[in-house]
Amino acid sequence: MKIMIGYPALQGKGSPMLTQNRQFQWMSIGSYIYPLVMASAATVLSKKGHDVIWYDGIAEQLPSSHFFKEVDSVRPDLLVIETKTPVVKLHWTIIDHIKEIDPAIKVVLLGDHVTALPEESLERSKVDFVLTGGDYDFSLMAMVDALSGLRAMPPGIYYRKADDIENTGRFRLSGDLDALPFIDRQLTKAHLYFEKWKKRQPFRYTMAGRDCQWGKCSFCSWTTLYPRFRVRSVDSLLDEIEMLVQDFGVREIFDDTGNFPAGSWLRKFCNGMIERGLNEQVLFSCNMRFDFLVKEPGLLDLMKKAGFRKMKSGLESANQATLDRIRKNILVEHITEGCRLASEAGLDIQLTVMVGYPWETRSDAERTLDLARDLMAKGHAEMLQSTVVVPYPGTPLFKEAIENNWIRFSPVDSWERYDMTEPVLKTPDMSPEEVMRLCSDIYKSFITPRFVLRQLTNIRSLEDLDYVMRGAKAVLGHIFDFARIRS
């Protein structure tokens, strides 16, 4: 079967942070995050003998018209598109246009939005199948087998039958992650993808688990895709890193698991990196919570020795009541203590703060921003990014927002407004403009003479200089993004 995995360029307000990202934003300066699970799906299908075409018009910065020309020329049997709430309407239009080009092309839509609302896309576009759940590789493989007459349709598929919408029941996350082949990074053009903060080239992504062992935060869109956590074996990830280093000369890796696994798994991973000498060859970064780090003395030093460089973590609020309410299950003091300990161990901390909770006042939000600035000023965090709380369909926060009438506009007719260019949720004593201003001011506030001096004194090589220059460009890009939104 000829199968195209497609990320068509989207006409919007910048470069869409679509895949892998647990929140959506349009960015003026792109990081192009590698769609790891889709890349795994492409790999599995290709290994099964299918003709797989990887098309990413976003990462390749192609004009949107290019996608239609490509589809017209390739004429795939199956076209697979990953979507998110703010762009689902754009994808419906694209799908309908594909059907005008060739009605025989079967189109599959997947992602957290359609997992939450599978029937909607079948009702409002000409899409043929909606695949729910986050195991795109296992599910697509089973679905393609079913379309080839080799088995029955797997659970979690929505489709049309005459004038009705049928489904095969609730999706299951039962695939063994260790049974998957390593991602074919040539087929899926892994060289296109990077994060703005990368220090070394070649830079590649891995994924240790799906997706987060805490997995309960009420706002997190990926809990919709992965209601239960699974992790690869330590040896499987170490073997993949070794392969990336030996076969592709990779010198920096970001693991995009929602939260990198903790506990004995992490210790075993660190020891494996050291025993295999990978710590000398590759810098390793990941998403991570800090609460368990605070409780395990010596672990941060081991991580540093194992090659860990940067950890991205959430400072969703400095208000304990909010952390409890969003089910983050963490103490504010564990976040601040974790930042201190990690930075003292020589790790870089990138914090994401969130503003615009429907129960937080201006002074609550300012307390969060003040704490973030304080951590930056003390050198306990290296970079900050700010986001506005968005209640994506499928999350407990979305349900709560509907029940409490917190959404500022018609909730289900306005998906394009969930794109973080404005608050979706009402706030008690702030206008939408104030929420956006708070979000953008954080980028200006931490650029103090002390911060600039610290960045300059950290420059030890041309790679460091390049890193600082790109960081400055990224911060200016964020300021520009929010200024553009407000103008």
Percent helix, strand and coil across the chain, each to the nearest 5: 45, 15, 40
Contact 1, 363 (CB under 8 A): no
Q: Is 215 in the site for ligand SF4 (CB under 6 A)?
A: yes
- Tracing tokens 């615009």 back to the chain, one arrives at 356
Write the DSSP string, 151-176: SPPPTTEEEEETTEEEE--S------
CB of 89 to ligand SF4, least distance (A): 25
Task: List the one residue from 54, 214, 392, 467 that touches ligand SF4 (CB under 6 A).
Answer: 214
Nearer to ligand SF4, 143 or 286 (CB): 286
Task: List the one residue from 220, 332, 342, 474 that touches ligand SF4 (CB under 6 A).
Answer: 220
Looking at 66-74, 190-198, 207-215, 243-251, which segment touches ligand SF4 (CB under 6 A)? 207-215
Contacts (CB under 6 A) with ligand SF4, residues 403-442: none
In the chain, the amino acid numbered 370 is D
3-state secondary structure of 12: coil
CA distances from 19 to 10, 247, 358 (A): 13, 26, 26
Q: Within a 10 A sphere around the Cβ of 111, how many other Cβ atoms?
A: 27
CB of 257 to ligand SF4, least distance (A): 8
CB of 326 to ligand SF4, least distance (A): 8
Contacts (CB under 6 A) with ligand SF4, residues 13-42: 22
Q: Is 394 in the site for ligand SF4 (CB under 6 A)?
A: no
Q: What tokens were used for 256?
A: 């995009």
**Angle 449-457/462-486 helices, nearest 10 degrees?**
150
Task: List the one residue from 107, 212, 383, 439 that touches ligand SF4 (CB under 6 A).
Answer: 212
CB of 259 to ligand SF4, least distance (A): 5
Nearer to ligand SF4, 18 or 315 (CB): 315
CB of 455 to ligand SF4, least distance (A): 27
Contact 41, 140 (CB under 8 A): yes
Nearer to ligand SF4, 242 or 256 (CB): 256
CB of 34 to ligand SF4, least distance (A): 17
Q: Is 223 in the site for ligand SF4 (CB under 6 A)?
A: yes
Contact 167, 118 (CB under 8 A): yes
Nearer to ligand SF4, 33 or 144 (CB): 33
The conformation of residue 318, written as its DSSP 8-state character, comes to S
Q: Is 293 in the site for ligand SF4 (CB under 6 A)?
A: no
Contact 212, 255 (CB under 8 A): no
CA distance 358 to 356: 6
Number of residues located near ligand SF4, criterion CB under 6 A: 13
CA 163 and chain centroid, separation: 36
Interface map 309-338 toward ligand SF4 (x if CB under 6 A):
-----x------------------------
Q: Is 259 in the site for ligand SF4 (CB under 6 A)?
A: yes
Contacts (CB under 6 A) with ligand SF4, residues 271-290: 289
What kind and span of H or E run contains 468?
helix 462-486
Task: List the one residue from 57, 86, 156, 258 that touches ligand SF4 (CB under 6 A).
Answer: 258
CB of 212 to ligand SF4, least distance (A): 3
CA distance 216 to 312: 18
Neighbouring C-alpha atoms within 13 Å toward the C-beta of 124: 16
Nearer to ligand SF4, 125 or 387 (CB): 387
CB of 14 to ligand SF4, least distance (A): 23
Looking at 35-43, 47-55, 66-74, 217-225, which segment touches ligand SF4 (CB under 6 A)? 217-225
Nearer to ligand SF4, 136 or 214 (CB): 214
Nearer to ligand SF4, 223 or 368 (CB): 223
Q: Within a 10 A sphere around the Cβ of 408, how many other Cβ atoms?
A: 17
Nearer to ligand SF4, 71 or 311 (CB): 311
Nearer to ligand SF4, 15 or 287 (CB): 287
Looking at 52-60, 218-226, 303-311, 393-401, which segment touches ligand SF4 (CB under 6 A)? 218-226
Contacts 24+ apart (CB under 8 A), 60-67: 60/189, 60/192, 61/9, 61/15, 61/30, 62/9, 63/9, 64/8, 64/9, 64/10, 64/11, 66/9, 67/6, 67/8, 67/9, 67/94
Contact 81, 107 (CB under 8 A): yes
CB of 22 to ligand SF4, least distance (A): 6
Task: List the one residue from 108, 190, 207, 217 that touches ligand SF4 (CB under 6 A).
Answer: 217
Q: What tokens were used for 273?
A: 């990196």
CB of 314 to ligand SF4, least distance (A): 6
Cα dihedral sign, 468-472-473-477 = positive
**Contact positions toward ligand SF4, by CB under 6 A?**
22, 212, 214-217, 220, 222-223, 258-259, 289, 314
